[in-house]
Structure 1
């Protein structure tokens, strides 16, 4: 089944469907090869994972003024983190929860590169008109509001509309990740490695994280991606920690070690599917997406943040996009790799928690930059990524 199946607004265009058996072939072969489950057990597990997913089709809430899809075969997936702030270490609880994380993932049509663009939750925007589930209009904001206001008033559908109306980028699919369910994903991976240069002590929220390179689990991992009162104390630097952490998760989730541990694979899939609300129809489509990331290779996956500057005049504690953000959105629309100006402040998925590059990654970043500054791969060219000062500001090694 194709990753695009069920996408609204594509004028009926569909790529050839892929049988489910080919999508999950690697998983099935791994499980049977280890003799851990029978064919019946695989069917039961597959149905369980499908049952875990919360499937919500929001196409009727996206309006009839959506952007055109310029390139056939590329894929834009909007990922939002739903943080209810439950638990003893809830942070920013005054916000009442909502989406503190918004990342637009772009996968190229040829599946040779991918990148994630983080949008700071404090970005000042004029929220567009949105729609309730029954298509009742939700009035546009009267003035500037923070980016995550869209999720608070209209959920993922309103956030998708906000992306499309303000950037011109067509969103194919969306995924909402429950932050509390995220803990189970980390534990299923037997922890995720991080490198913390100095002890993190946030007395306000009861968070203490010891310095060093080590595996972190569950609540500790959630605290790590949530905490703001470290580094320079801004949401922008929290984004860098989140990007680095997600890179480590991707590395472990698609690595050979995972397929060598089918019991671990089952735990991860169970935890992951329990934490997701999405318009992907089933686990087969999500598995296809995972295979695409795996095929691209970590050295051709990058994370960047929308160019920004502080602007507290529009909203308290806010930031606003710089003009060059238009160039970034155009790269997505045209299915082009990131250019050096954006990669210079980016994070490669092939970067280890301590800032070094994985041995399996191409030292050049997987591609050679072209004369116009563009790269053949998401992390190619001379984009050096975060410098030492930038990593220190984000409390990264």
Structure 2
């Protein structure tokens, strides 16, 4: 495994870029989706100096030698282009600065959520599949950079990153789904606040006052712009906003990222080079990527392909799951997950059900109609919890 900065004069410390925070991974992961959209615009606006500056921000990590000889093959598709699969992971250290926001510390480096982004060969659609950290899976044998074996085991999804970094997470994903990864991105949460501040905040709807003494998070209900630490607090709330646990938080974060995507793509941002520069500067400083994405130019080339798809065709869903009977705090992928991975392998669109439930990068579900309860004005407690989980007001 080789790891280096895009800047040849920068440090080659293999641990330097994997410091951040735990629970914020869910939302930062999706940051790559809208970073990719913004990058294509930025590349056309800034000077050669800016390109070099952004390139020097990037950290490049080659894990090819750690992925084994039994990687899945990609299914051949008709046409001049192939589908693209990008695995996005969060990087954190629970002992890092500010990591006690969720009441959890210690345990070393982790990736608390993983996102698979699939871009179709015809570039007509794209979707991101969120993988809950609490899902119990069979982790395969992994390998260190020195080719030493890391024993596999039945464990939580995010344990792979803890024991073997991004290489083990990629290997785990490929062995479980038989979907080959083309590129990977690791996002350090420390840049999240800077990204939000660079675009002068993101509008969210908080359905009820939040008073979370565990994380020391206190937010007033209502629709408003959140910035910096407040935005980070909002997307990381573990208590007192819904009873849906980690899944509810993931959905809320998906809605936040959709709102952020809109903000990045808005005229108010695109017409402000200072905001774009600040956003991309913060984003590139937070990214560790494979050699195939080793420069702003390469990232922008990928960005252009996502931009061609259109925000309304980029959807975010969560892997179908079921309860894990031995432990109510854990879950497992359901049988429908196999159907979803089959669609990814064969470059097929999402099922009608998943597509309808998805949050799009344009900021709304495919089916924007009100529920019967909303139309009748009889919003239930369950409706309110769902709204809270998604960062919307019932």
Q: Pick the TM interval, shorter chain.
A: 0.7 to 0.9
Q: In structure 2, what is the Cα distance between the partners aligned to 1:25 and 1:305?
A: 27
For 1:93, the equivalent position in structure 2 comes to 105
TM-score (norm: length of structure 2): 0.79
* Match among 360, 363, 388 for residue 392 of structure 1: 388
Residue aligning to 2:123: 111
Query: How much has 1:249 moved relative to structure 2?
Result: 2.0
Secondary structure at the aligned position of 1:214 is classed as: strand
Taking structure 1 as reference, are residues 148 and 189 closer, same or farther at Cα in structure 2, changes over 3 Å only? same
Counterparts of residues 20-31 of structure 1 (less than 5 Å): 26-27=41-42, 29-31=44-46
1:129-140 superposed matches below 5 A: 129-140=141-152
CA distance in 2, matches of 1:388, 1:107: 33
Q: How many pairs align?
A: 334
- 1:307 matched to 2:316? The reply is no
Q: Which is worse superposed, 79-88 or 119-128?
A: 79-88
Given the superposition, is the C-alpha separation of residues 363 and 311 from structure 1 closer, same or farther in structure 2, using an over 3 Å criterion?
Answer: closer
How far, CA to CA, are the matches of 1:231 and 1:190 in structure 2?
27
Q: What is the distance in 2 between the residues matched to 1:387 and 1:256?
A: 34
User: Does the 8 Å CA contact 2:252/2:388 hold for their aligned counterparts?
Assistant: no
Whole-Å separation in 2 of the counterparts to 1:26 and 1:341: 33
**CA distance, structure 1, for counterparts of residue 312 and residue 61 of structure 2:** 33
Q: Matches of 1:57 and 1:228 in 2, distance apart?
A: 34
Matches within 5 A, 1:134-149: 134-141=146-153, 144-149=154-159
Aligned residue among 258, 262, 268 for 1:257? 268
- The partner residue of 1:322 within 319, 322, 334 is 334
* Alignment map for 1:234-383 (pairs within 5 Å): 234-279=245-290, 280-313=293-326, 317-351=329-363
In structure 1, the partner of 2:92 is 83
CA distance in 1, matches of 2:318, 2:348: 17
Q: Which deviates more, 148-157 or 285-294?
A: 285-294
Instruction: Give the Cα–Cα distance (whole angstroms) in 2 for the partners of residues 167 and 174 of structure 1.
Output: 16
Query: 5+ unaligned residues in a row in structure 2: which ranges?
Result: 1-37, 370-381
Measure the CA separation in 2 of the matches of 1:389 and 1:205: 20
| Distance in 1 (alpha carbons) for counterparts of 2:222 and 2:177 | 39
Taking the aligned partners of 1:189 and 1:179, their CA distance within structure 2 comes to 17
- Tell me the residue number matched to 1:182: 192
- The alpha-carbon deviation at position 28 of structure 1 amounts to 5.3
Equivalent in the alignment of 2:233: 223
Q: 1:265-324: per-residue Cα shift (whole Å, max 9, x none)?
A: 1111110000011112111121222222222111101111111112141x5721011111
Distance 1:164 1:256 in 2: 39
Partner of 1:192: 202
